[in-house]
Every structure is written in structure tokens, then in C-alpha cells.
Amino acid sequence: MAVERQTTIGAFVFGGLVLALAAIILFGNFHLFRPTTRAAVVFQGSISGLAVGAPVTFRGVRIGSVQSTVLQYDAPTRAAYIVVTIQLETDRVRVTGEKRGTRAALDLPDLVARGLRAELVTQSFVTGQSEINLDFYPSTPATFRLATTALPEIPARLSTVQRVQEEISQLPLRELVNNADETLQSLRQISDRLNKELPPLVANLQTTAQESTRTVTTATGAITDLQRHINETLTRATQLITNSDRQLSGRGADLHTLLISSTQAVKQASATLNDVRSLTSSRSQTRANLDSTLRDLSATAASLRGFASDVERNPKLLLTGRRP
């Protein structure tokens, strides 16, 4: 009985150990039967929220986990670095272009040369847990830290949240607070001044509005009177036009006769002007005779003037005449 009891206890203990080992292998961070690749990521800033066992993802797909974190201090540069060792499960990554029968492998140096970078991202803002995300950023230069480990290093880059935090930390917050305080004081002064000056201004505006209302009322009455006068003027103008049309209709025959007479007078005047033009023409014989007559009259007038001058000097010439 004692031997059977010892055998039962031993079998129970052995079964428990087997179950515990199986649970550790299946649910623990052990990959005894999976091909894995280890790499290192060096962070210079805080990795708050990143713990051992945190997932390592590539664009949201989990491809590994964090294995360990080590703080390393560089004495010459007085800089502190956090070396995070990650374990990548290569069976979660399918490498195309390989020959059949060969084992898939990740060439980390080649991937880093092509732009593979690691960044720390927040897994949940509620719990504050973080994870490492891998992606290709060819435009981000690869910055390798000190030779802190023999594992291949994946360069780290600042995440969007970290870049925002860094930019916020570089802002001149004290100056901004001082400027905001000065702005609030200025606004308070403006508010006090408005509280003092607005009531008189509002009263003036009310008075102006009342005067404007009275002016508009007066203008409305004037416009109404003007419209009435305009209507009367238009009525009279319409009557005048109607009377004018009637008179023009009655005087149409007289106007026709007057137009005919005017036309004939214009024709006669045109004929007279033609005759005058022919008389005054330089080639007209009548004008030549008139010019000759005018010359003779001019010579006679000159002789008379000479004779009158001689008579004035010697009145006896009227009796004796001129001697040849």
C-alpha cells in the first residue's frame, strides 16, 4: 500500500510538472519551436508604458515582443540610453522571392538600409501601455547609438506624439503665459473703459436713432407731397400734349401750305444767289464793266479833289479857270 501510494503521488507530481511546463511553453514568452530573430532598439527618451512582453507590430500586425530593457549610461557624452531587446517571430513574416526549400529569414541590415525604423507608440491612452511599431521611413536618417549590444540595431525615430511633446517642451511657455496675462489685463482695461463709455454712447445712439426716425418721417411726408405734385404735373403735361396734338392735326393743311411757300422762297433765294454769284465772278463781263466804271469814278474823284485843292489855294480859278 505504501508503494502504491508513493507511486500515485509521484505520478501526480510528475503530471503537474508536465502541465506546468506545457502551460509555460504555450502561454509564456518562450518560442522553443518557432524561428526567431533578435534585434535591439536604442531609445534616448522615456519609454514609459513599455514593459517586457509588450507587442512589436508592423503597421498593426504583431510580429514579435519585447524581451528585455536595459538602461546604459555613456560616461564620455554623459548621455543615458535605453536598450530594448526585441524578439521577432520570423514565421509570422512571409518572405517572397526565396527558393523553395530554403528557410525564410529576415535580413535586418538590408531592411534598415531600405528605411526600416522603430518608434514607440501608445497602445492605450487609458492604461498608458506602449508598444514598438516598425515601418519603413526612407526619409528618416538612420541614427545608430553606441555599440551597446552585439545584436543588429533598428534605428529609432520619434513618434508623432513624441514630436508634439518635444515641440511643446521647446515652446517659451513662460513668455506665452506672460503675454497671455498682459493680454488679459489689456482686455480687462478695455472692458472697464467700455463699461464707462458705452452707456453715454448708447444714449447718443438712441437719440440719433430717434432723430433719424423723425427725419425719415418728415422725408416720407415730403416725398408724398412731391409725388402728388409730380402726378399733377404729369396730368397737366398729358393734357398739354393732347391739346398740342389736336392743334397740330387742325393746322396740318396750313403748315403744308407754309412749307410749300417756304420751299419756293428758298428756291428763289437760291436763284438770286446764283445771279449774284455770276455777277461777282472774276470772269463775268458785268463785273469787268463795274471795275472799269469804278476806276473811272476813282480818277474823276481824284481830279475833283485836286481841283478843289487848287480852288482853295486860288479862288480866282473859278472865274479864270486853269491855264494850260
Highest mean pLDDT among 15-19, 61-65, 77-81, 218-222: 61-65
Question: What is the value of pTM for the model shown?
Answer: 0.43
For the segment 272-295, the average pLDDT, to the nearest whole number, is 70
Q: Examine the pLDDT at 166 and tell me if it is beyond 80.
A: no
**What is the DSSP secondary structure assignment for residue 122, as one 8-state letter?**
E
Higher pLDDT, 2 or 233: 233
Fill in the amino acid letter for 256: H
Residue 65 neighbours by CB under 8 Å, 6+ apart: 29, 53, 54, 55, 56, 86, 87
Q: Examine the pLDDT at 313 and tell me if it is beyond 80.
A: no
Whole-angstrom Cα distance, residue 13 to residue 248? Answer: 140
Q: How many helices (H) and strands (E) does the chain have?
A: 7, 6
Give the three-class secondary structure for 80.
Answer: strand
Mean pLDDT of all residues belonging to the chain: 77
How far the first Cα of the chain sits from its last, in Å, is 212
Q: Which contiguous run of DSSP H or E holds residue 196?
A: helix 173-250
b/e burial code for range 87-106 (CB count within 10 A of at least 16 → b): bbbbeebeeeeeeeeeeeeb
